[in-house]
Structures are given as structure tokens and as C-alpha cells.
Amino acid sequence: MIRQLSATARSAVLISLAILASACAQLPKPELSAYTAAFEATRNAAEPMIADFAVADRERELRQMRLQPRYNSEFFTDFRTSDVAALSNISLPPGAAAIDRSFRAITRYNQVLVALAENRNIEEARGQVSQILEDLGGIAPPVAEGLPVIEPVAQLLVTALSPAIEADNKEQFKRIVLEGEPQVQQLIDVLRNYTPTQYSITTSGLQRAARQDPPVTDRQEVVDKINDWHRAFADYVALLDALKQSLAELRSAVEHPKSMPLLQRAAIGASEVRSYADALRLSLAEIRSKH
């Protein structure tokens, strides 16, 4: 068939076949770059939310501690190691710690993929896997209200990543994407499904002030801030959903030879994630401007 074409047409066909063969032999680096960029945008935009949530979660822990008999309305009569979550600014309270470790574990997962895709030293990728196991291994049930399913999800990801990384980076990359992607998706779902509890804890102080009788003098500002948080959490969930789609595009690129429509979808998806991240940062900036 190729012989029947003109010399120019034959050259075009041969070049196209060469490109296709090369695409099949290579790792889907554009999709990987789009996904990792999407994740970094998500994590960076979410960090202020995690910080505010940690403050509210710590205040909630302290209120619960003050209901114990050992608090005599002025001070605690003893110290317990469990008090650290509510009192220490060095450590995070349970809920915020679980969210932080989940993001760190996904970061490590991404770093394993990047190390393999760039054909780096195998020991580096193996070290990243060890860090994932360490991050997720520290999450014990019940880690926090609303996060009871993180332990089985973490264990599934650990199982997917536990086999020793061997010399064939390309095959290991594909294996870790195909076996680890469902668990990372579930880990993102854990973060997503925890948002109602996270919202409730983050706004708990504001909601108490809004219900106060007699009303506080700045009640409308308090109500407005609650509504701002409601919008910010909507932006956050939209961002997580876009991240899930970006990860799905990476899996699709591994399962099927790379094609231009897939690359275009990856680029569009990365652009959407950045716009969602910008929207979340704007929402959080508006909340802080009213503080």
C-alpha cells in the first residue's frame, strides 16, 4: 500500500509510523507531568485549609478535654501524653494529621513515578516507596472522626507498592500506575468524603457565634464568613475531582498507546486544575480579608 503512494506521502506515513512506534515504547511523560502538576496545585491550594482546620480541630480537642473531671474550670490537675494533640503547636491534631499524611503519601507515590520515568537510580525510587509505607503506616484507626476507612485504603496502596523495585524502570512504572492508581483514587476519595466533617469542625466556632443569644454585634460578618467557607469547600472538592480525572488520564495513557487527543485532554485537565486551584486560593484570601 505504501508503494502506491507518492514519495512525499510515503515519507509522511513512515514518519507517522515511527512516531507511533516511539510513543508505544516510551513512558507517558506528558500525562505524568500534567498529573503531577495538577497534584502540586491541589496540595498547595489546600495547605491553608489544612492549617485552619488544624486550629479548629485543636480548639475542639481542648473543649472536649475541659469537660473532663481533671479540669477544675481554671487549669488541668494532671498532664497526659494524649493532651499533645490539643495543646502542642509542633504536632497536628488527629484529623489534620491524617489529611497531611494522605497528601504526603500521594506526593511520595508521584515521586516514585517521576524517578522511574526519568530513569534515576533505582535506590531513589525504592527509598520513596519506603517513605510511603512510613507515612501511611502511621495512620491507625480510628484516626479521626469521619476518616475510618483510610486504614484499609492505605493498606491496599502499601500492598501495591511493596514488591521490590527491579531494574526495568518502564515495567515498574506501568505496574505502579496500574496497581497503585485505584488506591490513590480511593485516598483522594477519603479526603473528599471527609470534607463535610472538616467543614463542620472548621466553622464550629463561627456557627456557635452565629447562634449566640443575645446575638453578637458582628453577627452578619460571622454569617458571611461561614458562607465564604461553604464556597471554599465547594472549590476544594471541585479541585479534588479534577485531580482524580488527571490521574485517570495518566492510567489511560499507560493502558493505551499515547495519542494526540489524550495529550490534549491531559493539557486541558491540567489547565482546569490550575483554574480550580486559583479559585480556591481566591476564596481563602477573601475569608482571611474578613478575619
Using one digit for the tens of pLDDT, what is the confidence trace for 40-84?
Answer: 888 888 888 888 998 888 888 888 888 999 988 888 988 888 788
Residue with cell 495538577: 38
Average pLDDT of 212-235?
A: 89
Nearest by Cα to 253 from 243, 240, 266: 266
Average pLDDT of 4-22?
A: 39
Cis peptide, bond prior to residue 182, ω within 30 of zero: no
Residue 203: predicted pLDDT: 92
Nearest by Cα to 263 from 26, 14, 4: 26
Residue with more model confidence, 154 or 222: 222
Residue with more model confidence, 219 or 148: 219
pLDDT reading at 251 higher than 70: yes
Residue 230: predicted pLDDT: 92
pLDDT reading at 4 higher than 70: no
Q: What are the phi and psi torsion angles at 71 (to 5°)?
A: -100, 120
* pTM for the full predicted model: 0.72
Residue with more model confidence, 193 or 160: 193
Residue 115: predicted pLDDT: 78
Residue 187: predicted pLDDT: 87
Q: What are the phi and psi torsion angles at 129 (to 5°)?
A: -60, -45
Band the pLDDT of 199: cuts 50, 70, 90. Answer: very high
CA distances from 104 to 53, 136, 239 (A): 17, 9, 17
Nearest by Cα to 63 from 81, 85, 78: 85
Average pLDDT of 171-193?
A: 86
Residue with more model confidence, 54 or 285: 54
Helix axes 260-289, 219-255, angle to 10 degrees: 160
29 burial type by CB count under 10 A (0-12 exposed, 13-18 middle, 19+ buried): middle
> Is 101:139 a contact under the CB 8 Å cutoff?
yes
Residue 111: predicted pLDDT: 82
Band the pLDDT of 291: cuts 50, 70, 90. Answer: low
Q: What are the phi and psi torsion angles at 213 (to 5°)?
A: -130, 120
Q: What is the pLDDT of residues 142-159, one digit of tens each?
A: 444 544 445 566 666 666
> Is 136:157 a contact under the CB 8 Å cutoff?
yes
